[in-house]
Amino acid sequence: MPKRRQLRGFDLKQLEGVSSLIGVDEAGRGALAGPVVAGAVLVTREFLEGRWAAANAGRINDSKQLAPAEREALWFDFETLAGQGQIHAQFGVADVGEIEHFNILGATKLAMRRALEGIYPPDAFEHKTEPDLFTPAEEVARFQPRVSARIIIDGLALKHFPYPHTGVVKGDARSLCIAMASIIAKVTRDRLMNDLDAKFPGYGFAQHKGYGTEEHREALLRLGRCVQHRELFLRKLLAGRVDPAQLDFLSDETAPTDEG
């Protein structure tokens, strides 16, 4: 429990001078297959000092440290809290095609941007000139106040990212809202991988969620890769272990079945 109080305390300090705090984290960055998913969670001082956070912060941790049932239960709580207006929670997805096109870092930033855009558009964070007494009324009507929010992202700060933010190394173990975002990202991605397991059976996506387990590697050697595998990641993993001709992409129509 003391550690969880530290997570809340960290976020309360980050709220100094702003009205809200947005934590961002990702899931699936190191997988061999499937999308990368980002979560974003906005909290306020009222929420952090409120009844739910006081009673339940001890349940929240880096998503990788929680059992699937614990993550699902917290997801349900987050949906309820969002419905009550106590928090705002969103996720963003970048698919395998975008990972191949932008590389994994670019796709991760794209997923994070999409999650944040579900809460605020990028220009809401731009510093805008305040109107004065001589500004025409029609121009005043177009002014948008700068959002009083601070964004903190797990890991190092990102270059060429449209949202002003601060990187927090090991943020999912230091910040409550980043840990909440990590749960949003992980649960969303796990559900997507379960769907892919049904579409591309034989790889075990529902079990290993696309990560490079021995089971997954053996399935790749046996079945070849499918369209949900990341080409560059496989090239590095399987270099020297298998004939590249065995790794031809499988179309949706030729996805392997459990029988084949």
Q: Are residues 120 and 249 in the same domain?
A: no
State the pLDDT at residue 62. Answer: 84
State the pLDDT at residue 234. Answer: 84
- Reported in sequence order, the residue ranges of 117-258 that DSSP labels E, i.e. its strands, are 149-154, 166-168
Pull the structure tokens for residue 84. Answer: 């009550």
State the pLDDT at residue 125. Answer: 77
Q: Are residues 39 and 156 in the same domain?
A: yes
Q: Name the CA dihedral angle for 206, 208, 211, 212, rounded to a multiple of 10 degrees.
A: -130
- The count of domains in the chain is 2
Please name the residues in contact with 254: beta carbons below 8 A apart, sequence gap of 6 or more.
Answer: none
Range 23-33 burial, b when 16+ CB lie within 10 A, else e: bbbbbbbebbb
* Structural domain containing residue 230: 201-254
State the pLDDT at residue 199. Answer: 97
Phi, then psi, of 24 in degrees rounded to 5:
-135, 135
State the pLDDT at residue 64. Answer: 87
State the pLDDT at residue 238. Answer: 64
State the pLDDT at residue 232. Answer: 84
Residue 260 located in a structural domain: no
Last residue of a domain, one of 193, 215, 239: 193
State the pLDDT at residue 33. Answer: 97
Which CATH number does the domain housing residue 101 bear?
Answer: 3.30.420.10
Judged by DSSP in three states, 44 sits in strand
**76 to each of 27, 89, 186, 207, 252, how far by Cα in Å?**
19, 12, 14, 22, 32
Pull the structure tokens for residue 41. Answer: 């969670």
State the pLDDT at residue 245. Answer: 47
Residue 53 located in a structural domain: yes
- Classify burial at 4, counting beta carbons within 10 Å of its beta carbon; exposed 0-12, middle 13-18, buried 19 or more: middle
pTM for the whole thing?
0.85
**71 to each of 4, 20, 76, 192, how far by Cα in Å?**
16, 24, 9, 15
State the pLDDT at residue 259. Answer: 32
Q: Are residues 149 and 56 in the same domain?
A: yes
List average pLDDT for each run of 10 residues in the chain, which is 260 residues long.
71 95 97 97 97 94 91 96 96 97 96 95 68 56 67 95 94 96 97 98 96 92 93 74 47 36
